[in-house]
Each structure stands twice: as C-alpha cells, then as structure tokens.
Structure 1
C-alpha cells in the first residue's frame, strides 16, 4: 500500500480522538501516583488493556497466533511503550501534567524524521512548518526548565524517543494486523515483561517497583489508567493504519489542549496568557494540517479496485 491509497482524513480524525483521550490516562496515572508505585501503575495500564482486548479480539475472530517475526515485533513494541509509559508516569509524580507533556512534544519532530528515514514517507515543507509552529506553541504553553525540575525533566524526553520509535514500528505492522488484535498482543507482551519484575521486587523496598495494596479510590484510578489507555491506543493504531506518520504527527500537539484543560479542572493548574497564546498556535497548526489533508484527499484519484 502506498501513500496515495492511504485514507488520510479518517486517520486524522482518529488521531484527534487519541489526543483527547491520552491525557485522561495521564490524569488517572497522576492521581494514582500519590500512593501507587510507578511500575504498578504501568502494570495496571497494560493488564487492564489485555483483559479488555483479548476477549474482544477472540469475539471478533482476529486473534490469530502471531508469527515469529510478529511476536518479536510485539515484544520490541511492548518494551518501547512500557519504557515510555513508565518514564512519563514517573515524571508526573513530580511535574504538572502540562509541563511534562510540553517537554514530551519534541516527539513529533522525532516521529516525522523516523518516518522519513525508515518508512520512506514524503515530508513536505508545509508539514515541517506545521510541526515547527505546533512545537513553538507547546513551548509557549509551558516553558520546560531543567533548573526547575532537574533530572526529572529528562524523563519526558526519554518518553518522546521511545514513543516515536513505537509509532514507527506500529505503522509497519498495523497494516497487516487488525487494530484490536495488535493492541491486545502489545498489552500481553508488556504484561509479560513488567509483571515478573513486580513479583521479584515485592517487599524489596525499591520504591518505583515494590507493589502495594491499593486503597479506596486508587482502585478506580488504576482501572481508569487501563481503560483510557485501551481506548486511546486503539485510536492511534487505527490512525497509523490509515495515514502516514508525517501527516498525523503535527496533530499530536492538540494533546496539550486537553492536558491544559484537565490540569486546570483536576489539579488546579491554570494557564496564563502566554500559555493561551501557545494553545492558539497549537490549534491553528493542527487545524491547518486537517484542512490541507482534507483538500488533498479530495483531489487524489481513488485507489484501483482489488
């Protein structure tokens, strides 16, 4: 399948859905991190996802046993998303939600570059400009400061690198495997990695990995992490199945809008005037990509019949 046969507009819409639901997962994770170790939150995220998607994949008749190559890709993808998730959840323990996401937003640049290098995707100057404008807006929303957060500020950067690589691998396999089955196997592979670590570290006193028994609402926060992660990553897998990474990468900046809103509503983080100006730039760059890809999709010839 070539770029001309991609259904880019539906992919863009799915990506917008991801940018709305992903900060919900992060908000649940930040709430849970008050008492729950980071490793346990990550395990809940993938365990709940596996519990939801494996039966669904069976019901849909999608759960074919992966080949050796596909199993290896699942394990690599699971390792990448597990590292990205754990690093970001650890950052949320110390940083406001919008700050962590603002630092993370070097990721679309990395994703666009990796898509060009490893997937052979065309990256025109308009997409580069849209990414640059969105990135400038993210920096206006929250100005990352290593002086303020120290080494913790490196964690969202690690998340950005791991998540960009995860998205490139996802696009390579997403076109050959149904979305539900893809995310089900990813969750199983990630659980296979993280659960033995938690068992070995039980009672060890290693803060991020020593599990605890959740109390009261913390069960809800952990379940919320898993449910929101399931929905958001079904959306992003669908987006990557339909559209090239360079087309959807700039839209990730819309995530900062949802993060700023949730940060204010849940954690009382109120954006200032400069932050509002940045949000306007982010919305503008994402809206530009949406309109341009919509126009291009209308002018492209339809794909040949199979």
Structure 2
C-alpha cells in the first residue's frame, strides 16, 4: 500500500474544477471538427500547450525534467493509446457505446488497485463505483448497452488502459511534478497526431464533409476559428488536466476515478448554457446518481480525515 497520505477532499475540489473546465472546452470540439481533423487538432493543441507550459515553467520555475523518464514515458504512452483507441472507436461505433466503455475505467481501477497493488477496497467505494456507472448508463441512454460485439470491446479496452494510466500516476510516478506528467501527456498526443497526419498524407482516404470527417481528415489549411478554439482547448486542457493529474497524486486512484464521473454532468451543464441542449428526465436521474457516487467518496473521506 502506498505510504503517500491521502487528501481526498482536496482531490475532489481539483476534479470538480477540472470537470467544469473540460466540460466547457470540449463543447467546442464540434466547431473544430467542422473543418479540421482529429490528428491535426491533437498536434496543434500539443504545440500550443507546450509553448504555454514552457513559458509558465520559465516564469514560475516549474520542473519539467522527469525524475524517472521510463515511468513517465510508460504512463504517457498508456494514456495516449487509450485516447487513440477511444477516438478510433468513434469512427464506427455509437458515441454512447464508446463513452460507456471508457467510463468502465473506475471498475478497472478498483480491480487493478486490489489485485495488482494490494490496496484495501472498502464497500463504500465498491457501491460508489456501481452507483456512478449506473448513472453513466442512464445519462448516455439505452443505446449505450446495445450493439454488443467484438468491436464494442475496444472502448472497454480504452477504459482499462485509461485506468492503468491513472493508477500509474501515483504508483509509478510519485516523485514527478504534475507539470512533468502534463508535458508527457501532451507530447504523447502530439506524436500520435503527427503520425496520424503523416499516415493520411501517404495513404489518403475519402473524407465526409463537416464534423463527420473528423477522424478521417488529414492536415488542412484551417481558418482562424480553428486556431482560436484549439488555443482555448490547449489552455483549458493545460489547466484542467493538470488539476486532474494532481488529484491522482494526492489520493488513491480508486477514489479519484469515481469522482471523475462528475465530468458528464459538467459537460451537460455547459451544453445547456452554450447550445441549449436539454436532457431527458432519465438522464437527469442518472446525473443525480453520479453526484451521489462522488458525494459518497467525499463524505467517507471527510469522516476518515476528521
């Protein structure tokens, strides 16, 4: 068991802020997807984020050099591959099914924490994971549980890899700064974006118009709107993902992963404010379950830390 002290309430505050930031910025991915591709987006966002991070490091004296380069590379690669599988599955599976697969991550976090690292997992955390996942399914709708096939295992594999990356934050990289892990995360996605653009340049494929071609589209001459919203994404992700990484550093992954469920209600909140999108009563009930799951973890931590 890790000797690092838990600060679950502080982690909850960080993850809530992360969810509100990412929920806002991700609502504008549809604007980016209308004219550019996923791979160009990742590459451009990484370039912008690294310039911002380098500037912050120079001004604030942040440490970007890894203490354990192998561990940081391994964690960054796992998270990067999880995102590639996740976005790749979006090309041929319903969004709800893919999202539901990714949100199996807290279940894998519990299993890996218990059986690979010997962490004690109490009944409150087990119930919180179950309640939160039921809430996710209700938010995503009945289609999230339909279309079961071999291909539908891909989002679940992404969820498992995302869980491994989150556990690696605390177990493999305890001496790394949050900014070091943040740089590793963005660089991994930037390399993947560059590879994707190169592959599509060498072997171009037919690209549907608008956001339907997000995954298949290679590098294009993009407008100022693309660069503006990609910069907003870079700045928001830099801050938000940095907070998420720090949260996983200061509390057990099995607690932090349940708290991450809050990103669905946060995204829905911004979707309503920005685009006027509304939810069904069943989805609202699902969000209530998600909030309840996070509250169970936070309140349990408050009792233990009192």
Normalising to structure 2: TM-score of the pair? 0.82
Distance, in Å, in 2 between the alignment partners of 1:28 and 1:282 is 24
Distance, in Å, in 2 between the alignment partners of 1:212 and 1:132 is 43
Report how many residues are paired: 296
Match of residue 80 from structure 2: 82
CA RMSD of aligned residues (A): 3.0
Asked whether 1:105 is paired with 2:103, we answer yes
Cα deviations by residue, 1:162-182 (Å, 9 ceiling, x for unpaired): 211211112224420111122
Relative distance call for 1:279 and 1:200 in structure 2 (3 A) is: closer
- Distance apart, 1:18 and its partner CA: 2.2
Distance, in Å, in 2 between the alignment partners of 1:231 and 1:62 is 14
- Distance apart, 1:122 and its partner CA: 1.8
Q: 1:271 aligns with which of 257, 276, 279?
A: 279
Distance, in Å, in 2 between the alignment partners of 1:98 and 1:222 is 24
Cα deviations by residue, 1:96-116 (Å, 9 ceiling, x for unpaired): 977754442211111222222
Distance, in Å, in 1 between the alignment partners of 2:70 and 2:277 is 41
How do residues 163-242 of structure 1 correspond to structure 2 at under 5 angstroms? 163-199=162-198, 201-202=200-201, 204-206=203-205, 208=216, 210-242=218-250
Whether the 8 Å CA contact 1:101–1:256 is kept in 2: the answer is no
Whether the 8 Å CA contact 1:170–1:240 is kept in 2: the answer is yes
Relative distance call for 1:253 and 1:189 in structure 2 (3 A) is: closer
- Unpaired runs of at least 5, structure 2: 208-215
Relative distance call for 1:98 and 1:196 in structure 2 (3 A) is: closer
Match of residue 304 from structure 1: none
Whether the 8 Å CA contact 1:130–1:250 is kept in 2: the answer is yes
How do residues 149-168 of structure 1 correspond to structure 2 at under 5 angstroms? 156-168=155-167
Normalising to structure 1: TM-score of the pair? 0.82
Distance, in Å, in 1 between the alignment partners of 2:38 and 2:148 is 18
- Distance apart, 1:15 and its partner CA: 2.0
Q: 2:300 aligns with which of 283, 292, 301?
A: 292
Match of residue 45 from structure 2: 45
- Unpaired runs of at least 5, structure 1: 299-306
